[in-house]
Amino acid sequence: MPCFSNCCCCVKLATGGLMMGIMTLSMSLFSIIPMAISLVNRNFLAKVTVHMLNRYGRGAQNSTNPFVDQDFWSTVTSLAGDEEKAAVLPDDDDPQVERLRDAMLVFFIVCIILLVLYFLTSIMLMYGSIKAKRWLLLPWLVATLVFIIAYIVGMVLSTVLFGVSIISLIFLIIAITESIIAFYLWLCVVSLFQYFSQGYGDGAEQILELGSRKGGKYKGLPQHER
């Protein structure tokens, strides 16, 4: 039995699957660009990260809120390319910088590969939603669930790494809220997968039409399947 009969209360499941495919396709495509830029500039990013961890990370001597600290904004200025007001960053041969730079090399390459794969799974989701091919939905379902879990774990680790504060807790709450919304949308695609598995795949166009049907509007799944 499908978890939901509609997506977002009023959108048909197949239409919702198509919309989510477009959304995640765009997200993955536009995320590849900053990841590639970060890969190229990983040395500078490693130095900035080490500087921030040394000053504001867990166990750091400084207890000042970074958002009211002049050094924090100097570091932000360095990211913007204003070297005159930039903070003093660690040297390139700093052991922490070298380790983090090597880790970033692997991290950004893996992220780019995953984003390319997610781009492909989004295309599969869109095609599967239109043609009622339920197994084409499965790669997107697996990839999205992994991304949701990784996002939550990453935010929790960041909170622990930089220390618990009001700001970090606000970011964590925002991340949890986003994950709940993403999980709901994921369940909508699970419902579409279940719907197709019950033998309704041959008439995909019946649940995909964007306007109202002739003689009545779409009201979700058949009554006996709810």
Q: What is the pLDDT of residues 168-217, one digit of tens each?
A: 788 888 888 989 999 988 998 888 888 888 765 544 444 444 344 444 44
Q: Residue 47: inside a domain, yes or no?
A: yes
Residue 7: beta bridge partners?
Answer: 11
Say how many domains are in the chain.
1
Mean pLDDT of the chain: 75
Q: Residue 176: inside a domain, yes or no?
A: yes
- Region 41-47 average pLDDT: 83
Q: Residue 2: inside a domain, yes or no?
A: no
Residue type, 75: T
Q: Residue 43: inside a domain, yes or no?
A: yes
Cα-trace Rg, the chain: 23
Containing domain of residue 193, as a range?
A: 13-210
Q: Residue 226: inside a domain, yes or no?
A: no
Q: Residue 223: inside a domain, yes or no?
A: no
What's the pTM value of the predicted model, to 2 decimals?
Answer: 0.68
- Region 25-36 average pLDDT: 90
Please write the tens of the pLDDT for every residue from 119-173: 999 999 999 988 888 899 999 999 999 989 988 888 888 777 766 677 778 888 8
Neighbours of 73 (CB within 10 A): 14
Q: Residue 83: inside a domain, yes or no?
A: yes
Share of the chain above pLDDT 70, in %: 68
